[in-house]
């Protein structure tokens, strides 16, 4: 089922908790989804340009279904089976209805264990009030390309996932959200120094189809100029 799936991992190393979490997550994917193509783009910049890293990972990918994945989460592997199948009747799929944050000690226990499902260590979690649009997006390559991927004008924490979701929902069709849980490994909070600019950019997408199309065209023009 996963022989046509490329996993896009945007990664900003820290030689600490984020790097340790991602090392374990890669082992998790290797064990649970050995057929997928793993595409990693590592950019060591602050604020981290996640959108640019995703687009560069997509350029490396050779398959027709993209799994755009955060590098610090794990989940019930059966969710991916369901998500890929749902693409037969939906434009794109968001597997999670809940984001469960592990505390620092629980994350250490998981990272020290062998990747498997269900995990075999006791963990403590708290549920975020909102799950958001990111974490894991299952998207056909054709629709990723139709919205020109992620908007690379976003840097640092916030807004890029929302903008991608708005673009897909507006131009390609609404996403299907499944009832799964994302387990989020602990790490320090991301760089929010550019959040205000990101929020202003997000608002430019929120006025319907014409505004989405206009912003995508702006990005294409910027790419061509470069």
The Cα–Cα gap between 171 and 159 comes to 18
Counting Cα atoms < 13 Å in the Cβ hemisphere of 89 gives 5
Token pair of 151 as six digits? 């908007």
Query: CA 157, 159, 165 angle in degrees (round to 5)?
Result: 135
Q: Are strands 92-102 and 125-127 parallel, antiparallel or unpaired?
A: antiparallel
CA 35 and chain centroid, separation? 19
The Cα–Cα gap between 92 and 137 comes to 7
Residues of the chain with pLDDT below 70 are: 225-226
At 66-99, the pLDDT tens digits run: 999 999 999 999 999 999 999 999 999 999 999 9
The Cα–Cα gap between 128 and 24 comes to 22
At 23-37, the pLDDT tens digits run: 999 999 999 999 999
* Domain CATH for 74: 3.90.550.10
Residues of the domain holding 82: 5-225
Overall number of domains in the chain: 1
Crossing angle of helices 104-111 and 17-32, rounded to 10°: 50
The Cα–Cα gap between 111 and 81 comes to 24
The Cα–Cα gap between 71 and 68 comes to 10
**Residue 190 has what pLDDT?**
77
**Which residue do the tokens 């794109």 mark?**
92
Token pair of 193 as six digits? 């120094």
**Residue 157 has what pLDDT?**
87
The Cα–Cα gap between 55 and 149 comes to 6
Q: CB of 83 within 8 A of CB of 65?
A: no
Task: Tell me which DSSP letter residue 189 carries.
Answer: P
**Residue 140 has what pLDDT?**
98
**Which residue do the tokens 């990972």 mark?**
57
């Amino acid at each position: 089922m996963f022989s046509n799936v490329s996993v896009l991992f945007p990664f900003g190393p820290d030689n600490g908790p984020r790097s340790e979490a991602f090392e374990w997550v890669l082992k998790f994917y290797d064990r649970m989804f050995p057929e997928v193509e793993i595409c990693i783009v590592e950019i060591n910049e602050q604020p981290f340009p996640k959108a640019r890293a995703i687009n560069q990972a997509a350029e490396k990918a050779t398959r027709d279904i993209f799994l755009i994945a955060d590098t610090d989460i794990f989940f019930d592997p059966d969710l991916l089976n369901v998500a890929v199948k749902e693409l037969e009747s939906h434009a794109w799929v968001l597997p999670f209805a809940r984001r469960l944050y592990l505390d620092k000690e629980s994350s250490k226990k998981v990272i020290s264990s062998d990747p498997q499902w269900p995990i075999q260590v006791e963990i403590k979690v708290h549920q975020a009030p909102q799950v958001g649009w990111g974490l894991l997006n299952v998207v056909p390559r054709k629709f990723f390309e139709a919205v020109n991927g992620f908007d690379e004008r976003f840097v640092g924490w916030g807004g890029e996932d929302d903008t991608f979701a708005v673009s897909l929902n507006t131009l390609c069709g609404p996403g299907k959200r499944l009832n799964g849980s994302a387990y989020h490994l602990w790490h320090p909070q991301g760089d929010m120094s550019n959040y205000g600019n990101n929020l202003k950019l997000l608002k430019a997408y929120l006025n319907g189809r014409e505004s989405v199309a206009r912003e995508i065209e702006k990005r294409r023009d910027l790419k061509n100029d470069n």
